[in-house]
Amino acid sequence: QEPGDLGRALQGAAENLFQELEEHFQALTATLNLKMEEMGKRLQHLQRNVDELMVQAGITKATEEQMVRPWLGDCFLCAEPVIAFILKTQSHIRSLWEFLPLYLKNLQE
């Protein structure tokens, strides 16, 4: 085999790998977005139920916000680093994808 053939084969394999990685992360991002949306709906439902129970128990709104709101905020704060990681990883894959042809061209020379 000639070096050019090997370089083209390597480039094709690398392009396929990066394409698969990008598709995988896009699917993962979509799945996480759906899960977070579902979690948000469940938390809203929980909030309504807690509101109803507190009204029935005669507990004031101020007490409710002290007890429930910080907990809801923590749940959303936990998800933010995961989303940031996925977006950063997608950005790195795109950067590698753009750099790959230049790298392979230099490798062939």
Give the model confidence (pLDDT) of 14-39 as tens digits: 888 888 888 888 888 888 888 888 88
As a whole number of angstroms, the distance between CA 29 and CA 36 comes to 10
Write the DSSP symbol of residue 33: H
Q: According to the model, what pLDDT value does residue 12 have? A: 87
As a whole number of angstroms, the distance between CA 107 and CA 7 comes to 7
The lowest-confidence range among 1-5, 52-56, 82-86 is 82-86
Mean pLDDT of 35-58: 80
CB 72 within 8 A of CB 64: no
Query: Left if phi > 0, otherwise alpha if psi is -120 to 50, otherwise beta: which for 105?
Result: alpha
pLDDT in tens, 58-107: 776 544 454 544 444 445 555 666 666 766 776 766 666 676 677 666 66
Residues 6+ apart with CB under 8 A from 88: none
Q: Read off the tokens for 78.
A: 């936990």
